[in-house]
Structure formats: C-alpha cells, structure tokens
C-alpha cells in the first residue's frame, strides 16, 4: 500500500494530502440534503483513503479528480445515493462554471442584471466616475465632497423608488425580503426603507433569520478549523418556511433564539404574531433561496436585491469587482464591531464567495427591484485603512497553494488601492450613509 503524501489540484499546484478535506467534502454534501453525521462522513473518508492507498503505485501523486471519483464510488457502495447525487451535481456545477469562465468574453451571464448595470454605467460616465483615473482627477481638484453628495443621492433615489413600489402593492403584501451578498449594506437599507414606508402608514415586523441557525458544532468546517456558516443549509430552512407560512395566515409561532456566544440555538422562545396591516420584514443573505419561502405565493412577497454594483475601471483597465468592495467592507466592519481579525476575513472569503455564486447570485433576476449600494468615493477611503495590510498579505500568501484564493485577492486589491488617491477625511460622508455601516460613525441604531 502507498499512502499519498500530496495531491495535484486542477490548477496544477501540488499540495499536501489531507484526509480532512475528503471528510469535509462528504459532510458538506450530506448537509445539503439534511444530513448532520460528521462521524459517518469521517468513516467514509477513511474508506476513500484505503481505496486510494491500494490503487496508488509507489511515488504516484493522485489528481483531485481521481480522488473525487473514488468518493462517488464509496458513497454509492455504502448506500448514500442521495449524498452521492448531491456530490456529483456539485462537481458537474463546478465543471460547468469553469467552462463558462472560459467563454465569458463571448457569452453574457444570465445572472447579471444588464439593464440595471447599463443605468449605473451611464450615471458613472455622466459624473466622470467611470475609471480610477477620472476619480483621482476629481479628487485632486478638491471635489471629494461633491462626489460623496452625488453618490449618496443616487443611492437614496434607489431606496425611495423601492419604497414606492412596495407601497403600490401593500394591499396584498405579507412580507418584504431584503436580500443580497455579504456586506452589501442590507442593514442600513432596511432601516431607511422602513422609515420611508412608516411615513405612509405601514408597520413592519422584523423576522430575524439568524435565530434559525443550527448549532455551530454541526456546521461544516475545513482543515484550518474554519466553519462554513455562509451556506443556507446552516439555517433551519424547513422551520423558517413553516413559521413564515403560519405567520402570514395569522397564526402565532414561537421564534427560537440563537446565542452567538455559545453557538447554540434555543427553540420556542419568543411568541410572534402578525396583526392587521403589519408586514414581515426579512433581512437575509439567503432571502431569495427558494427553500426559505417554500409554499408562499409570490404575490404576497416583495423581493429586493442589494449589491454595490459599481461601474468603474481599475488600474488594469478591468471593472472593479463588486466582491472586492464587499470584502473590504466586511474586513472593516468585522474588525471594528466584532473584534475579528481582517486577515481571517480574507482567508474565509472563499467560503463567502462560493456560497454567493451557488445560492445567491443565480436568483438575482427573480427580484422585484435592485438597489445599488456602491459608492465611487469609498475606494479612496480604504487606501489609508488597508493598503499596508494588503501589501503584507500579498507577500505572506505568495506561492502558498493552500491560500491561493487569499493570494489572488490580496494582490488584486493591493494594486487597486495603490492606484487611487488616498482620502483620510471622512467628514463629508453623512452620518446615516450606508458606508457608515462598515467604516463606523453611523447615527443609525443597528
């Protein structure tokens, strides 16, 4: 028998062999179909390793695809057909995404709201904020306060229009869902939207999805001990759907309470019932995920999607990635409000992004309205806050195959921040700005 010491990744990089990765892959597939038995996943991973040892000749370094083929085989042979199906579907989905990436230049993605993007790009060109060079030029002319005002006005117009659309449908609505990927500004937007609607006599009741997290100990985690709590399966989707259906029918339910300090959920804690003219307000990453509102008619839901859809070219002549803006936002928020190391946020981001691409982005075009929370002026503020750290991370993760994702993001963001004019003074930014949710100094109560 030959126990493999290394594995060849799809990129060609060779990394140390780690059985825990197989365990985690099996457990993730199990979680997605309702399973929560980590010990069983570890046992099955052991079966995979035994087969691999028998089949590997001396000095052979297996390819990741070779190992995944064995995983499928073991799952099926051990009677886990449903988990095997999920695992196979995930592999096929990843293969499809890699193929689509290769064709991206010639075929547009159906997940991108092109009409909205065109409107934002047109606005950026009209305000001379469509490139980093144009932004820098305006900053050097002393126009930073004007850029802030223009950006905030565009965002407020979006929020106001969304509120008007909701008001027009208020006679049938039972819930408003505010969704979008991490650090898109959902909390601030929810508060602003609620204020707009309160002026029109509508009353909202917050439904806190975070209370429906499963206990932390049964969440998937990787070989670094990093929990994957970004997936919708981290939430008790069946209970959420059941409670939502009962609430819109006028019944009382007992809401659970999730203790983030202990990572434990306590069931049947707080009574909740919708009164007449009350509408549920749901602020959730996965509000668009079908299983969350399963069985609830579309006509009683208003689905709002939020993301910083900035249309600005960076120093490499490519459009700045929205996910990069949100990564920086989350770094600053986690560091300020949650005492969480920004480096850990960077290392965890591949989970965030993988979950978004699988569970959030595909549903973007099912929404009733899209709000752009991207602020052209935010990038200059980030340079003095994070440029030095990105320079350090760029070097730290260089040639580390286990941190390839962090390396790519650190290198890209270091180049972006290095290219923009720095701005230390954030006094022109309104105290109720969506950006205050991340940089601090907000007058809103979160």
* Same domain assignment for residues 124 and 99: no
* Same domain assignment for residues 388 and 424: yes
Mean pLDDT of the chain: 87
Helix (H) or strand (E) holding 171: none
33: containing domain: 6-103
* Same domain assignment for residues 98 and 119: no
Q: Of 103, 129, 149, at which residue does a domain stop? A: 103
* Same domain assignment for residues 87 and 147: no
User: Is 445 inside any structural domain?
Assistant: no
* Same domain assignment for residues 123 and 93: no
User: Is 56 inside any structural domain?
Assistant: yes
User: Is 151 inside any structural domain?
Assistant: yes
Assign residue 179 the CATH number of its domain. Answer: 3.40.50.300
Q: Strands 6-8 and 14-16, how do they pair?
A: antiparallel
Q: In this predicted structure, what is the pLDDT of residue 338? A: 65
User: Is 131 inside any structural domain?
Assistant: yes
Write the DSSP symbol of residue 211: G
- Does 160 score more than 60 pLDDT? yes
Give dist(CA 129, CA 377) in Å, integer. 9
- Does 440 score more than 50 pLDDT? yes
- Whole-number CA gyration radius for the chain: 23
User: Is 363 inside any structural domain?
Assistant: yes
Q: Of 39, 68, 103, at which residue does a domain stop? A: 103
Task: Kindly report the backbone phi and psi dihedral angles of residue 253, in degrees, each rounded to the nearest multiple of 5, phi listed first.
Answer: -125, 160
Give dist(CA 197, CA 248) in Å, integer. 19
CA 282 to chain centre: 16
| pLDDT tens digit sequence for 302-345 | 999 999 999 999 999 999 999 999 999 999 998 876 667 899 99
| pLDDT tens digit sequence for 76-107 | 888 887 877 777 777 766 666 655 554 444 44
Interacting residues of 206 by C-beta distance below 8 A, sequence separation 6+: 280, 281, 282, 283
Distances (CA, A) of 217 to 14, 45, 71: 31, 19, 24
* Same domain assignment for residues 35 and 119: no
User: Is 282 inside any structural domain?
Assistant: yes
User: Is 1 inside any structural domain?
Assistant: no
* Same domain assignment for residues 53 and 180: no
* Same domain assignment for residues 47 and 130: no
* Same domain assignment for residues 156 and 230: yes
Helix (H) or strand (E) holding 259: strand 253-259
* Closest residue by Cα to residue 286 from 215, 176, 367, 180: 180
Q: In this predicted structure, what is the pLDDT of residue 199? A: 82
Share of the chain above pLDDT 70, in %: 91
* Same domain assignment for residues 268 and 215: yes
Number of domains in the chain: 2
Q: Of 103, 125, 148, at which residue does a domain stop? A: 103
* Same domain assignment for residues 323 and 432: yes
pLDDT grade for 136, boundaries at 50, 70 and 90: very high
User: Is 214 inside any structural domain?
Assistant: yes
Q: In this predicted structure, what is the pLDDT of residue 55? A: 80
* Same domain assignment for residues 189 and 49: no
Over residues 214-242, mean pLDDT? 78
Q: In this predicted structure, what is the pLDDT of residue 42? A: 83
Q: In this predicted structure, what is the pLDDT of residue 95? A: 66
- Does 229 score more than 70 pLDDT? no
């Amino acid at each position: 028998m030959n126990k493999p010491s290394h594995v060849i990744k799809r990129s060609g990089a060779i990394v140390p062999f780690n059985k825990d990765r197989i365990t985690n892959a099996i457990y993730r597939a199990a979680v997605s179909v309702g399973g929560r038995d980590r010990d069983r996943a570890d046992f099955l991973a052991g079966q995979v390793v035994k087969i691999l040892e028998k089949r590997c000749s001396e000095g052979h370094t297996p390819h990741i695809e070779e190992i995944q083929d064995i995983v499928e085989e073991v799952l099926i042979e051990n009677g886990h057909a449903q988990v095997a199906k999920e695992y196979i579907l995930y592999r096929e989905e990843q293969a499809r995404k890699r193929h689509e990436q290769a064709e991206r230049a010639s075929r547009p993605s159906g997940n991108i709201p092109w009409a909205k993007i065109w409107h934002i790009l047109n606005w950026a060109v009209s305000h001379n904020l469509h490139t980093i060079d144009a932004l820098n030029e305006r900053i050097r002319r002393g126009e930073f306060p004007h850029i802030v005002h223009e950006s905030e006005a565009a965002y407020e117009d979006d929020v106001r229009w969304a509120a008007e659309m909701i008001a027009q449908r208020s006679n049938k609505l039972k819930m408003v869902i505010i969704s979008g990927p991490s650090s898109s500004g959902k909390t601030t937007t929810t508060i602003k939207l609620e204020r707009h609607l309160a002026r029109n006599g509508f009353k909202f009741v917050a439904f806190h999805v975070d209370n429906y997290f499963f206990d932390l100990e049964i969440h998937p985690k990787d070989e670094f001990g990093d929990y994957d709590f970004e997936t919708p399966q981290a939430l008790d989707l069946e209970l959420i759907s059941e409670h939502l259906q009962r609430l819109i029918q006028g019944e009382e339910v007992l809401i659970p309470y999730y203790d983030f300090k202990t990572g434990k959920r306590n069931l049947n804690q707080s009574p909740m019932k919708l009164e007449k003219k009350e509408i549920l307000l749901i602020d959730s990453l996965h509000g668009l995920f079908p299983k969350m509102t399963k069985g609830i008619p579309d006509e009683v839901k208003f689905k709002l999607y939020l993301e910083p859809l900035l249309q600005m070219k960076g120093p490499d002549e490519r459009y700045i990635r929205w996910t990069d803006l949100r990564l920086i936002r989350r770094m600053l928020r986690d560091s300020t409000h949650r005492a969480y190391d920004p480096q850990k946020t960077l290392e965890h981001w591949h989970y965030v992004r993988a979950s978004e691409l699988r569970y959030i982005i595909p549903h973007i075009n099912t929404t009733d309205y899209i709000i752009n929370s991207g602020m052209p002026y935010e990038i200059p503020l980030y340079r003095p806050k994070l440029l030095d750290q990105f320079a350090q991370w760029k070097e730290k993760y260089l040639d580390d195959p286990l941190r390839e994702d962090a390396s790519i993001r650190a290198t890209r963001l270091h180049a972006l921040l290095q290219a923009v004019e720095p701005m230390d003074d954030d006094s022109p930014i309104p105290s109720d700005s969506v950006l205050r949710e991340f940089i601090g100094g907000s007058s809103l109560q979160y």
